[in-house]
Amino acid sequence: MNLELTGKSVVVTGAGSNIGRAIALGFANEGANLTLGDIDATQTNSVVEEAVTSGAAAQFVQTDVTDLGQVTTLMNAANTNYGGLDILVNCVGWDQLMYFTETTPEFWNRIIQINYVGVLNCTSAALELMIPAKSGSIVSISSDASRQGESREAVYGGTKAAINSFMKTIAKENGRAGIRCNVVCPGVTIPESEDEVGEHSMWKDKDSMFTPEQLERIARALPLRKLGRPSDVANAVVFLSSDAVAGHVTGQVLSVSGGYSMIG
Ligand SMILES: NC(=O)c1ccc[n+]([C@@H]2O[C@H](COP(=O)([O-])OP(=O)(O)OC[C@H]3O[C@@H](n4cnc5c(N)ncnc54)[C@H](O)[C@@H]3O)[C@@H](O)[C@H]2O)c1
C-alpha cells in the first residue's frame, strides 16, 4: 500500500524516546522529511542519524513544548527547510504514578503544562501554517487512561481526556480547511531496549513505572495477552497521517492497547 508520505514535511514532538522515536522512524521509512522537537538533544540527534541512515531527511530543533516561542521556531524550521508543514504529531507526555491524594499542586501544574498546554502550543503554531495551505494532519498521542480512568493517573488521565476533546473540536473547526485531526491512545507500551529511551524518559528508571511482575500481570489481563511496543503505536499514527489511506478519517480517538479499552 502506498501511503504517499514521501517528501511530506512532518514534525514529531517527544521524538527522542520510546513511542516518539518509533513514530519518527516510521515516517523516515516512508521517505518523509522530519523535523524532530524534544528537550533531549543527545537522544534526539541519535534518532536524526537513524532517520538519515534510512534515507530520510531529518533535522533536530531543541524544543520545550511548554514554551510557545520555542514551538513556533520548531514549526518554522519545518516550513523553511522542507517547504511547509504537512503533518504534526504531538507525542510529548509525562507522568509519575501516584495516588491523587499523594500529589501536589506543583505536580498537577507540571503535568498540565507538559501534556496539555504543550499540545495547545504545538497545535496553534501548526495551524498558522496549515490553514493558509488548506491541508494538514494532526495526530495527538493521548492514553487509554483518558477513556476509563486509571488508578495513580488521575491528573495525567484528565489531561489526556482534555486532549481527546480538544482534538475533536479542532477537527470540527478546521475540516473545511482540509485539516484532519485524530488521537491515538496507547496502553502500556514498553521500549524494546534501553537504547530507545532518553534521559528525560518516564522509562529511564523502568521500575518507577511498573515492576516486571506488574507488567506480566498487565499483559495477562489484556485480550491480546501482550504489552504494546512503540512500533504498534507508530503504525497507527503513520496510517492516520496519510491522506492517501485515511483521507476521510477525522475527529477519531483510536486505542492501540491490546484491547484494554473497547469503546463502541
Ligand atoms: N509508554 C506508555 O506506556 C504510554 C501509554 C499511554 C500513553 N503514552 C503517551 O505516549 C507518549 C509517549 O510516551 P513514551 O513512553 O514514549 O514517553 P517517554 O517518556 O519515553 O518520552 C517522552 C519524550 O518527551 C520528551 N519531553 C519531555 N518533556 C518535554 C518537553 N517539555 N518538551 C519537549 N520534549 C519533552 C522527553 O525528552 C522524551 O524524549 C506520551 O504522550 C505518553 O503520555 C505512553
Mean pLDDT (whole number) for 222-238: 98
Does residue 172 sit within a domain?
yes
pTM higher than 0.75: yes
Mean pLDDT (whole number) for 252-264: 96
How many Å lie between the centroid of ligand 1 and the Cα of residue 13?
9
Asked if the model's pLDDT at residue 11 lies above 90, the reply is yes
Ligand 1 interacting residues, C-beta cut-off 6 A: 13-14, 16-20, 38-40, 63-66, 91-94, 114, 118, 141, 143, 186, 188-189, 197-198, 200-203
Does residue 37 sit within a domain?
yes
Place of cell 487512561: 145
- Which residues does 176 contact at the CB level (< 8 Å), separation at least 6? none
Does residue 262 sit within a domain?
no
Query: Read out DSSP for 178-224?
Result: TEEEEEEEE-SB--SSGGG--TT-TTSSGGGT--HHHHHHHHHHSTT
Question: Nearest C-alpha to atom 18 of ligand 1 is from which residue?
Answer: 201
- Which residues does 69 contact at the CB level (< 8 Å), separation at least 6? none
Does residue 217 sit within a domain?
yes
d(CA 206, CA 222): 20
Q: Which domain holds residue 27?
A: 9-256
| Average pLDDT for the chain | 97
Instruction: Please write the tens of the pLDDT for every residue from 44-62.
Output: 999 999 999 999 999 999 9
Query: Read out DSSP for 119-179?
Result: HHHHHHHHHHHHHHHT-EEEEEE--THHHH--TT-HHHHHHHHHHHHHHHHHHHHHGGGTE
156 is catalytic: yes
Amino acid at 44: T
Asked if the model's pLDDT at residue 205 lies above 90, the reply is no
Does residue 214 sit within a domain?
yes
Q: What is the pLDDT of residue 208?
A: 81
Q: Is 208 exposed, middle or buried (0-12, 13-18, 19+ CB in 10 A)?
A: exposed
Does residue 189 sit within a domain?
yes
Amino acid at 54: S
CATH number at residue 104: 3.40.50.720
Q: What is the pLDDT of residue 171?
A: 99
The catalytically annotated residue of 82, 99, 116, 156 is 156
Number of domains in the chain: 1
- Which residues does 71 contact at the CB level (< 8 Å), separation at least 6? 37, 63, 65, 118, 121, 122, 125
How many Å lie between the centroid of ligand 1 and the Cα of residue 94?
5
Mean pLDDT (whole number) for 148-159: 96
Does residue 263 sit within a domain?
no
How many Å lie between the centroid of ligand 1 and the Cα of residue 92?
4
Asked if the model's pLDDT at residue 234 lies above 80, the reply is yes
Amino acid at 229: R
Ligand 1 pocket mutation, candidates 200, 222, 233, criterion most atoms within 8 A of CB? 200
